[in-house]
Amino acid sequence: MAIADPQIKPRPVIRQLDDAAINRIAAGEVLERPASAVKELVENAVDAGATRIEVVIADGGKTLIRVTDNGCGIAADDLPLALSRHATSKIDGSDLLNIHSFGFRGEALPSLGAVGRLSITSRVDGRDAATINVAGGKMDAVRPAALSGGTVVELRDMFFATPARLKFLRTDRAEAQAVSDVVKRLAMAEPFVTFILRDASKGDTRTAFRADAQSGDMFDALHGRLQTVLGREFAENALAIDTEREGFHLTGYAALPTYSRGAAIAQFLFVNGRPVRDKMLLGALRAAYMDVLSRDRHPVAALFVDCDPTLVDVNVHPAKSEVRFREPGIVRGLIVSGLRHALADAGHRASTTVATATLGAMQPQPTEPRVYQMDRPSFSARSMTFQAQAPGFQEAPSARIEPIIEDEHAHLPLGAARAQVHENYIIAQTQNGIVIVDQHAAHERLVYEKLKTQMAENGVAAQALLIPEIVELSDGDAALLLSIADDLSKLGLTIEAFGGGAIAVRETPAILGEINASAMIKDIVDELADQGDSANVKAKIDAILSRVACHGSIRSGRRMQGPEMNALLREMEATPLAGQCNHGRPTYVELKLSDIERLFGRT
């Protein structure tokens, strides 16, 4: 009797998977969670030209997702085809790089029908409405239905056909939050469309989010939509971005550095209107704020990159959340320079939330109903009162009282210095309030900007190493580093090839003093691999300049005279980014007179 050799394995047999298995595999790529299904259905509604989209979910979308739109609809004859894989009205397949719509792969609807109980009811103008059902990949016949127009897509019991997937979903609350985030991102991309999100869990339907269609030009509409989605405070402290470079157009809004977050949770990026999560774009956003935010703070922005569709590949991932640019360096440079120019143009401005936080910290106690007080006297009345209180004043019946001339600086943005308290804070009076300035933080920014300007004008001095330091790298990393050798030399770091994958470091930036050249080179390589660009050397130089500026600025505890304080205020008004110190903290707080009076119950 022959004994089978355990080392010999049976030859694998190639099989053709059936359509049901294929659709479930595809669903695993496209549909990670209920939020993925909502994204696909809402994008279909936008592509259909809808101006009103309503989303209803229950139990985080696990048991119900219903998307209703007023778009062009689907003809009854086309309903079965719409549920077939790779069937789409968005493209004809001749050019996969010229994509003008959200969807184009034709995978979403059949994937939904493969894992859940799906029904589509639709009506095209001039035709009767029809509906079709599919559950676990099994399709029913098309039947007549009642619908005034548009399309209603309803998905129940998501993943009932693949119950193992349910174990990987999070709590109902977490899934509902993910759905809300998806709807809000799409609402930002389409400000002229009304979006409504309702939660019908436990039989109680409530509106979780609503954003009515905006009007006006694109910037006004976007500003209004961002106020709805991100809040009034963001809208008040956001800078408009509008710049172009070599076929790429960057628009949107970015917040002042003093309006930042402790995590990167409020950064929204769009490419040709499509919400994306792109590592290169996020790196560019971070680099643009590098000089005005500390490492533990993150900028807030909603940025839109528009270009010819042939310049960007959106067919990188089934979820279409990643893109690949033909010229990534141009896009990155556009974002960095566009944001830095906008921040510089904002001058000394700081966010209004600084004043709000200051007023909140005062926490006035509830007051009794206001007792009668004299209304605020007029300017001439105040002038007469001030003169009457002056030493040596004697009232004469026929004397003419000359009004006191207000300080010549009071009309300027940061006002006129009135006092210095605790040898660190300057109190200035403006036309309609007061400004409190941190003299050390403010002067630190002023000195830092001067040092950077001098560095830009005179270049970065390099110091030659007595013995060049040899750094061993892989051939690929060495080639990557040498490709930016000219850029590094402008920053005082001179490198050259040393054979194989080795790099010879011959000069380092003098301002950095004695450094570990090998560690710096490896950090730069890591940054290049992660972001496609390196700001490592410049960041280190800027950090040194910031430290020098800190030691060279007006110290806390130093008493200042009036002219000195006013000179500091005027320099702040003329210096970009003077509203925050080198670490992103505010350099001044502005309190409106109306807010101050409210603290004392004078409203």
pLDDT at position 22 is: 66
Give the pairing type, strands 52-58 and 194-199: parallel
Judged on CB neighbours under 10 Å (0-12, 13-18, 19+), 467 is exposed
Show the DSSP H helices in 346-438 as ranges. 352-362, 379-388
pLDDT at position 170 is: 92
- CATH for 347-363+408-603? 3.30.1370.100
Q: State both tokens at 290.
A: 């590098």
User: Considering only CA atoms, which of 454, 432, 428 is closest in space to residue 442?
Assistant: 428
The domain ranges of the chain are 19-211, 218-346, 347-363+408-603
| Measured CA distances, 159 to 111, 171, 356 (Å) | 10, 15, 47
Collapse the DSSP code of 229 into the 3-class scheme (helix H, G, I; strand E, B; otherwise coil) and give the result: helix
The dihedral of CA 267, 351, 361, 600: what is its sign? Answer: negative
Quick count: other Cβ atoms within 10 Å of Cβ 207?
A: 10
Q: Is 19-211 a domain of CATH 3.40.50.10540?
A: no
Angle subtended at Cα 34 by Cα 79 and Cα 172, rounded to the nearest 5 degrees: 140
pLDDT at position 402 is: 36
Radius of gyration of the chain (CA): 32
DSSP state of 427: E
DSSP state of 213: P
Q: State both tokens at 593.
A: 């007179």
User: Considering only CA atoms, which of 372, 422, 354, 373 is closest in space to residue 595?
Assistant: 354
First-to-last alpha carbon distance for the chain, in angstroms, is: 105
Report the run of H or E that residue 543 belongs to, with start and end: helix 536-552
Collapse the DSSP code of 453 into the 3-class scheme (helix H, G, I; strand E, B; otherwise coil) and give the result: helix
d(CA 147, CA 122): 7
User: Considering only CA atoms, which of 21, 41, 199, 198 is closest in space to residue 112?
Assistant: 41
d(CA 154, CA 161): 16
- What topology is assigned to 218-346 in CATH? Ribosomal Protein S5; domain 2 (3.30.230)
pLDDT at position 92 is: 46
Show the DSSP H helices in 425-535 as ranges. 439-458, 475-482, 485-490, 517-531
Residues of the chain under the 50 pLDDT cut: 91-93, 366-374, 379, 381-382, 385-386, 388-405
pLDDT at position 370 is: 47
Q: State both tokens at 270.
A: 């769009």
